[in-house]
Amino acid sequence: MREGWWRDIVQVSSDDAILRPQSVDKTQSPRKVLALLFVSYCGVYFCRANVSVVSATLIENGELGITAGSFGMTISIGTFAYAVGKMVSGAVVGQDPVGRVRVCMVFTGLATLGFAASGSQGVMRATWVLSRAAQSQIWTNFAVIINSTFPASSTGQAVAVLSQSFLVGDAIAKLVLGGVAGFTGWRGVCVAGAG
């Protein structure tokens, strides 16, 4: 492959303003920023793992006419929305990654509440797709925050640590929401996840 091939795909500005936005508070300790991002991404999993926790109940009860096939379709469409959102997020990441993360996390929580309140498969599917689309925007903005906070020599290590939030968040969310499922219905699990 020829050197610099990626420049044909991604236009890189000579001033890296897009890569080092001004909205990131540079007075914060990089470790503190990393810890906050880690905990925040673990929190995202409460709006993602809730579906894994409630899927068996929804399918077994057949509530809202849900079958294994229809629920699988909902999950697949949500995954597709997440994948498309990831591609779009790189193009639209802007000067305020912290603000974008806040908006996306609030939107993810609201969509999860909409999922809990849904009275039909169509509404459930739409809210899941919206939740996954909002979730897809978070990681790219986290990457920009890491790049703005850590020196270039440490960004790889910081991302390696942050990427563990996928596993830790998933495990904690399923453990907690599984416990909630023991004394509440599927809607309660989703409300707890959004909280």
Q: Ramachandran region of residue 64, left (φ > 0), alpha (ψ -120 to 50) or beta? A: left
- Tokens 């904690």 identify what position? 172
> What tens digit of pLDDT does each residue of 18-42 get?
444 445 556 678 999 999 999 999 9
Identify the residue with better confidence: 41 or 14: 41
Least confident of 13-22, 46-55, 141-150: 13-22
| Segment 110-160, tens digit of pLDDT | 999 999 999 999 999 999 999 999 999 998 899 889 988 999 899 999 999
Give buried/exposed letters for 108-130 (b at 16+ CB in 10 A, else e). Answer: bbbbbbbbbebeebeebbbbbbb
For residue 105, is pLDDT > 50?
yes
Q: How far is CA 11 from CA 18, 37, 86, 90, 148, in A?
A: 11, 27, 18, 12, 19
Helices (H) and strands (E) in the chain, counts: 8, 0
SS3 62: coil
Whats the size of the chain, residue-wise?
A: 195
Both structure tokens of 194: 């959004």
Whole-number pLDDT of residue 91 = 76
What does each C-alpha distance from 115 to 108, 112, 130, 183 come to in angstroms? 10, 5, 10, 19
Average pLDDT of the chain, as a whole number: 85
Tell me the C-alpha distance between 9 and 121, whole Å: 39
* pTM of full prediction above 0.95: no
**What's residue 88's pLDDT?**
86
If residue 122 lies in a helix (H) or strand (E), which one and from where to where? helix 121-149
